[in-house]
A = this chain, B = another copy of it.
Amino acid sequence: MGIVIRGGTVVTAEQTQRADVYCEDGLIKAVGADLDVPAGTETVEAGGCFVMPGGIDPHTHMELPFMGTVTTEDFFSGTAAGFAGGTTTIIDFVIPNPKQSLMEAYHTWRGWAEKAAGDYSFHVAVTWWDETVRADMGTLVADHGVNSFKHFMAYKNAIMADDEVLVNSFQRCLELGAIPTVHAENGELVFQLQKKLLAQGMTGPEAHPLSRPPEVEGEAANRAIQVAKVFGVPVYIVHVSAKEALEAITRGQDGGQRVFGEVLAGHLLIDDSVYRNPDWDYAAGHVMSPPFRSKEHQDALWRGLQAGHLHTTATDHCCFCAEQKAMGRNDFTKIPNGTAGIEDRMTALWTHGVNTGRLTMNEFVAITSANAAKIFNLYPRKGSVSVGADADLVVWDPAATKTISAKTQMQKVGLNIFEGMTVTGTPAYTLSQGRIVHALGESRAVRGAGRYVNRPAFPTVYEAVKKRNALNMPTPVAR
């Protein structure tokens, strides 16, 4: 039995048009005015609403193992919270320990994710290097639908990828047609700043941003981008929070390079005053890396998003409860890093992006859904409202308003970084695979209904990259 969304205005990254959308078998079957639909078709009334592709959050950490425990949000609860916010697809991370087999880690995460209510995929982290890693990367791309690999430039003595790992892995990505992604913070600097701050008696969460100043991020972003440039590899920088990193991205793009940037809703909207809040739990609850920054950086990020230097928005959804955060009560370096947001990303961005005239609605779809789909080669299956696409849709009510609060959220975490923010424009209905999974504030998420989404290698950008690199092959001088 199908479902039809009637009377809405379909908004995609390209255009805005009055149209009905008919879905069946999990797919969009028709888009057009006054569609004829089979008898028995369920109807969603979308008058006054916008019908948009479901959001894609390309950066989440559900059920992440950490210090003998796991984040409080699992793949089911997390994807269900995503539905509440209009997000229907996540790309999470497989993070092997150094020396751990990538394949083994991958299968572990696949197991955990089976409970997901919404569709999901995985970036796989490269945290070390040897020939088995190189081989496993090949297997993951060829046989397991992975087309992106993550590199942490921070977290020295743990999962940090040094220049040797970066250079090897980036070259391997180029061979495989995969996108290297980078958490850009200079791990050595963080390590030494932490030491210095603790030595200065700075043990509280207010030291966290001081241990990771913008330069630490800008340096690493620039380094990753230069490495990519030297080998002709496209590169994607996750959670850009500092104008210095944005500038490094912009320089790369303006120099003809293929560089993609992701920004978190939190970094766009929260500033670093939270770390000097007298309430330790509140301050610690905002500890994440990179940290929230001053307003100057927020302004820069918004402009970067408007100008197209940043392509995607995410959350880095990674939930730790107050008890977990309290592990770092006497030492800020031991506070688990992470904040939530998957439930609020789209409404917060609509309110502060579309309602303020920073973004058009089409740009909103691009940065919440279509661009991620294109970069990670899911388009038009995801990120579009077109015949044949997955029926992942959100019916958006631009007039609906609410105040965000941890008290009323689905997210499994005690603190909401957007607490008290009044938003205008929220999901009325969310559809995943052609089924209503969230309706007028009520969850209809089904445990295990989510599917693993294969992402083919060689996204469009590679078409250009390969030609460019071929033209740039060196030639010897005959002597």
Q: Tell whether A210 is near chain B: CB-to-CB under 8 Å.
A: yes
Expressed in whole angstroms, the Cα–Cα distance for A281 and B238 within the complex equals: 47
Instruction: Name the interface residues of A423-479: CB closer than 8 Å to any CB of B.
Output: 460-461, 463-471, 473-474, 476-479
Contact at B355–A467, with CB atoms within 8 Å?
yes
Q: Which residues on B sit within 8 Å (CB–CB) of A358?
A: 256, 464, 468
Min C-beta distance of A235 to chain B, whole Å: 13
Given contacts A219-B226, A357-B464, A467-B355, contact A476 B213 (CB under 8 A): no
Residue A14 at the chain B interface, CB threshold 8 Å: yes
CB-CB under 8 A for A460 and B16, given A188-B164, A226-B215: yes
Stretch binding the partner chain, chosen from A53-61, A138-146, A359-367: A359-367
| Complex Cα gap A280–B478 (Å) | 10
Contact B474 A200 (CB under 8 A): yes
CA separation between A45 and B303, bound complex, in Å? 46
Question: Does the CB pair B216–A219 fall under 8 Å?
Answer: no
How many residues from A make CB contacts under 8 Å with B? 87
Are the C-beta atoms of A461 and B356 separated by less than 8 Å? no
Q: How far is the CB of A477 from chain B (nearest CB, A)?
A: 5
Residue A186, interface by CB 8 Å: yes
The answer to whether A197 has its CB under 8 Å from any CB of chain B is: yes
Which of B218, B360, B464 is within 8 Å of A226, CB to CB?
Answer: B218
CB distance from A244 to the nearest CB of B (A): 8
Q: Which of A103-111, A117-125, A304-312 contacts B (4 or more CB under 8 A)?
A: A304-312
CB pair B254–A309 under 8 Å, yes or no, is: yes
Complex A-B: 19 CB contacts under 8 Å: A16-B460, A162-B188, A167-B188, A186-B223, A189-B227, A189-B230, A193-B230, A200-B474, A202-B476, A207-B476, A210-B474, A276-B477, A279-B479, A283-B477, A354-B464, A355-B467, A356-B468, A357-B465, A357-B468
Minimum-distance CB pairs A-B, first 5: A357-B467, A357-B468, A163-B188, A219-B226, A215-B226
